[in-house]
Amino acid sequence: MAKIFLTRAIPEQALQLLIDAFGENEVEVYPHDQIIPRDELEKAVHGREAVLCMLTDPWDAKMFDAAGASLKVLANCAVGYNNIQVDAASERNVTVTNTPDVLTEATADLAWTLIMGASRRSGEAERYLRAGKWGSWSPNFMLGNEIYGKTLGIYGMGRIGRATARRALGFNMKVIYHSRTQRSAEEEGSLNASYVSFDELLEQSDVLSIHSPLLPETTGLFGAEEFSKMKDTAVLVNTSRGPVVQEAALAQALKNGDIGFAGIDVFEKEPEIHPELLDCENALLLPHIGSATLETRTAMAYLAVENIIAVLNGKTPPTPVN
């Protein structure tokens, strides 16, 4: 049995780095391009020394027990690690690692894809055109929101939140934010950003972009009450974690006109999407592609591989979680 198991295929260059380090016979990749079923995962990880996993792979105490005492490192190919019960890993002396920083710019780019696309009804307009419905130019046709000079609200001013805010400078936007930690006055000045309360963020944002981790206090944070406080023209964007937003409430808010538009890349129960949200023409929906560039996905895989190589060689990994 190979001592290293990958739950999904990764870019070839990163896979080759792992093979070069330990030999082809010591590396096994799950052969199907899909989420590995839990029962299969429990069997596949048994007796491994290292597992390179994805955000879609659940690692609770039972999964660590299934892997057994041989497991030394669990390398999550994602910046988030809410799929992993880190305490259970620590109790079993398993090092957990993630891939921060390398996906910051790509995800911020995607947030702006959603900001602009949702504001200008791009998805709806393209569907309309492809369906053969477009007859002629009209002054009142497909009217959306301008972005230039408006107020961008950021919930969660971490790396990706700051990168998203930085891009707003080119649109002469006022930036307001709410976060667990207020940034320094110097950093706020460089981003044209001001710290506000959560209610002020909801009430004042023309575009509200979510960039928070999934924590008990952020799970389901954006629901009917929060949407009712937002402008009826506001755009809600989420590229963070799906469960931060209550999808049923978002669909209702979009249909009721409580908010204007939404741009969503992550969902509560991926790959399932609430059917009512699918019916909302004023929602631009993407299949979790925030980090989906060749450069970024390759860099993520390289970092995950480097973490495995370090731990199995008795060294400190570049990005440990525990």
| Cis upstream peptide for 271 (omega within 30°) | yes
The model carries a pTM of 0.91
pLDDT tens track, the chain, 322 positions: 899 999 999 999 999 999 999 999 999 999 999 999 999 999 999 999 999 999 999 999 999 999 999 999 999 999 989 999 999 999 999 999 999 999 999 999 999 999 999 999 999 999 999 999 999 999 999 999 999 999 999 999 999 999 999 999 999 999 999 999 999 999 999 999 999 999 999 999 999 999 999 999 999 999 999 999 999 999 999 999 999 999 999 999 999 999 999 999 999 999 999 999 999 999 999 999 999 999 999 999 999 999 999 999 999 999 999 9
Token pair 């919930």: residue:
155
Alpha-carbon distance of 143 to 121, in angstroms, equals: 8
pLDDT of residue 149: 98
End-to-end CA distance of the chain: 27
Amino acid 87: pLDDT:
97
Q: What is the 3-state secondary structure (H, E, C) of the chain?
A: CCCEEECCCCCHHHHHHHHHHHCHHHEEECCCCCCCCHHHHHHHCCCCCEEEECCCCCECHHHHHHHCCCCCEEEECCCCCCCECHHHHHHCCCEEECCCCCCHHHHHHHHHHHHHHHHCCHHHHHHHHHCCCCCCCCCCCCCCCCCCCCEEEEECCCHHHHHHHHHHHHHCCEEEEECCCCCCHHHHHHHCEEECCHHHHHHHCCEEEECCCCCCCCCCCECHHHHHHCCCCCEEEECCCHHHECHHHHHHHHHHCCCCEEEECCCCECCECCHHHHCCCCEEECCCCCCCCHHHHHHHHHHHHHHHHHHHCCCCCCCECC
Domains of the chain listed by start with CATH number: 4-101+294-312 (3.40.50.720), 104-285 (3.40.50.720)
- C-alpha distances out from residue 212 to 12, 116, 155, 215, Å: 31, 20, 6, 9
Phi, psi of 115 (to 5 degrees): -60, -50
Q: What is the pLDDT of residues 39-55, one digit of tens each?
A: 999 999 999 999 999 99
Interatomic CA distance for residues 42 and 47, integer angstroms: 10
Is 41 in contact with 85 (CB distance < 8 Å)?
no
Question: For residue 229, which of 247, 262, 205 has the smallest C-alpha distance?
Answer: 205
Task: Please write the tens of the pLDDT for every residue from 244-271.
Answer: 999 999 999 999 999 999 999 999 999 9
Beta carbons of 184 and 191 less than 8 angstroms apart:
no
- Which of the residues are catalytic? 241, 270, 288
Question: CA torsion 125→208→146→116, rounded to 10°?
Answer: -40
Q: What's the pLDDT at 237?
A: 98
Beta strands 207-210; 193-195: pairing state? unpaired
- pLDDT confidence of residue 24: 96
Count other C-beta atoms under 10 Å from residue 174's C-beta.
16
Nearest to 5 by CA among 315, 312, 319: 312
